Structure 1
Amino acid sequence: METENNNRKRRIYVRLTDKEFSTLETRCKNSTCRSVSEYVRHCLFTKPITTLTRDASADEAIMQMSHLNRELNAIGNNFNQLVRRVNTTSQASEIKGLLLLFESQKKTMFSKIDEVKEQLQKLAEKWL
């Protein structure tokens, strides 16, 4: 055991609050480790560490998609209101005006859908 300790020439220093240190000591006493150093080494080297990486290039695309999603929701709400008014209106002149609004909303919606498709295609090309 003595020769194993002689091989350990590197030290690391960690500052802890009193509460953190008491928690560390308590956990150490509840384990089979003989010292705090042994317990810390055990914790450091026996548990796998998961590393997550974040693709910063996708952040802009996600923001654009979020903005397009809000616009599509707004257009869909307008579309639903127009359809509801057409279904409840019995006057032909009012229906004609509503149908013109309907056509303009439909064109706007299809243009936004095309934008979403383009953005998805760009993302697919970048990631695949």
Structure 2
Amino acid sequence: MQQLLALVPAFGSALMIYYTYQNMKRVNACLPGIFHCEIFNFIVPRRTRLAVAIGAATALAIMALLIAMNYAEPALALSIVGIAIGLYGLALQVKHGAYCMYCITTDAILFITAAIIVTNV
């Protein structure tokens, strides 16, 4: 069961790697959807978006590796720290009216991972 749980952050890591690739290829990389992220791309510099995307992809990959190796507690701690950072980022997005679908999706993946770890541990 732990190996199946590792697929959740691994999927998030793959999503952030795709976002990094799209962000390197184009200036404004957006997920299609309800939210218009042009304002977010205007406010946040491209290099900052790349650095955050690489950091998120790395953190999610480490979480997947920890879960696959049956180290759920450090993965839970990393997930909680990520959720705290994500809530702060979400508050800033709402304040400025500039939304990032990749950020919101990563926060959801972190929350789902933490909830599954808590219910399984």
**TM value normalised by structure 2:** 0.40
> Using CA pairs below 8 Å that are at least 6 residues apart, which structure has the higher relative contact order?
2
Decide which structure has greater helix share: 2
Larger Rg: 1
